[in-house]
Amino acid sequence: MTSVLTGTAVDVKNLSVRFRSKRSSTTALDDVTMRVEAGEFISIVGPSGCGKSTLLKVVAGLVKPSDGQVSLFGDEVKGAQRNIGFAFQRAALLEWRGVRKNILLQAEIRGIDKAKAARRADELIELTGLAGFEKALPHELSGGMQQRVALCRALLHEPPVLLMDEPFGALDALTREQLNAELNKIWRETGTTILLVTHSIAEAVFLGTRVEVMSPRPGRLMRTLPVDLPRERDYAQVMTDPRFGSLTREIRQLLGAHESH
């Protein structure tokens, strides 16, 4: 289940995005440049409305740049990208389908070989602790388990890049920590390149190999902070690590300084 892709996974060059209507024009992103190597885990934090989600949508090919460009493994993004995975804040499961069938929906949409998809689904179900719940319907699952199903669905086709837009934002603190630990494990075992948008500074540091801190709108990258922690991360150990405390304080200061202006 480990990715063999190497090199630059995501290359964002001088990206600007402006949304225009008849009455106004809003600059969501302004001159953003960022390079993500294959296998990295990039956490993106910033104030509400700073363009974090827009950045993910441009990488996915769902929003067109006004200026600049984005490339995935050397190919310019010019439309919706079928080979990536995308996990949203809402699990958006089909209420009449069980866990396994919700995961396999991805295979039906993409026309993936049924036997291959079934094996992959079983691997992911085991990896995310869903074994025993294969036939459970969404209303029978907790919010955390629903997000596990959505994550499995996003990973079914073995995407080289996974985009995550606040996937754990609506969960309670304990469930969120558990899913953070599971996501760290999935990232280590699959080698998938991950870009995570989050409002949680602790989550950003716990999961990321580096944290990109964005300014208020128009969104710009104002600081890149490498995360000097082991790849395998345990919450109890990380939370007491001086490096974790130092990074979270620095990010809070950066965001607080901009909020006060």
The per-residue pLDDT for 261 is: 39
The per-residue pLDDT for 44 is: 96
Mean of per-residue pLDDT scores for the chain: 89
Class of domain 7-84+185-261: alpha beta
pTM equals 0.90
Beta bridge partners of 195: 42, 163
State yes or no: pLDDT of 25 exceeds 50.
yes
Distance CA(12)–CA(87), nearest Å, equals 20
- For the stretch 102-160, pLDDT in tens is 999 888 888 888 889 899 899 889 888 888 888 899 999 888 889 889 989 988 888 99
The per-residue pLDDT for 4 is: 55
State yes or no: pLDDT of 202 exceeds 80.
yes
What are the residue ranges spanned by the domains of the chain?
Answer: 7-84+185-261
Which of the four pLDDT bands, split at 50, 70 and 90, describes residue 260? Answer: very low
Most confident of 26-35, 92-101, 136-145, 176-185: 26-35
State yes or no: pLDDT of 237 exceeds 70.
yes
